[in-house]
Amino acid sequence: MTERSTLRRLPSRGSNEIEAVNAILDAAFLAHVGFVVDGQPFVIPTLYGRAGDKLYLHGSAASRMMRTLESGVPVCVTVSLVDGLVLARSAFHHSMNYRSAVVFGTARKIDDPAQKNEALRVISEHLIAGRWDEVRAPRNQELKATMVLELTIEEASAKSRSGPPIDDEADYALPVWAGVLPLALKADEPVPDARLKDGLEPSEIIRRYRR
């Protein structure tokens, strides 16, 4: 751990334990990737997958993000999950229940077709487990058009908040409702593609999907 991953604001809510970081990475699937090009910062949302201390990212071979990360620039990846809005008796003490992870590292391009295919499988399985085996595997030209990066987690931190609002003692007597408004990302009923062949139904993998 260095200065870049040291938690400064409310450190009691945070952890540098890799188990805490991995738990958050595994619960989410959307990351925001931060990097700098010629002094201009960019933050790009993207899907990812994790295997051990590696994160896998993919995108078009022509993508500015992928071409920049391939060069070995420092990368910051953040993942956030919002679990609820914390509604206090005062405007000042409103908050949010959340889990977040911040990962630092550098990325390398995967050129070996077998390794690239495996990394894409990791990303697919992270998004919806079992789907990779239901669909057609990538063709060679599709693999060539796709860049896959392996990012080693060099440093990371996790931070979270849970529980009710914490008001000033005098405010507990105010006639204002306070508590937590839970929020969750929910899978709804699958919507079939308009060109789906007759008689095809969602597999159990899709029907029982929960995160």
pLDDT value at 186 more than 70: yes
- CA quadruple 178, 187, 33, 153: dihedral positive or negative? positive
Confidence category of residue 16, pLDDT binned at 50, 70, 90: confident
Which of the 8 DSSP states describes residue 197?
Answer: P
Rg, the chain, Cα only: 21
Residue ranges of the domains in the chain?
Answer: 3-82+96-166
pLDDT band at 15 (very low <50, low <70, confident <90, very high): confident
Give the N- to C-terminal CA distance of the chain in Å, as an integer: 30
Reported as a pLDDT band with limits 50, 70 and 90, residue 11 is low
Residue 5 has pLDDT above 60, yes or no: no
C-alpha 115/C-alpha 95 separation (Å) is 43
Give the model confidence (pLDDT) of 36-66 as tens digits.
999 999 999 999 999 999 999 999 988 999 9
Helix (H, G, I), strand (E, B) or coil at 170: helix
- CATH number belonging to domain 3-82+96-166: 2.30.110.10
160 in Cβ contact with 99 (< 8 Å) = yes
β partners of residue 101: 79, 158
Summarised one tens digit per residue, pLDDT across range 150-178 is 999 999 999 999 999 999 999 999 999 99
Query: Tokens 């970081």 identify what position?
Result: 21
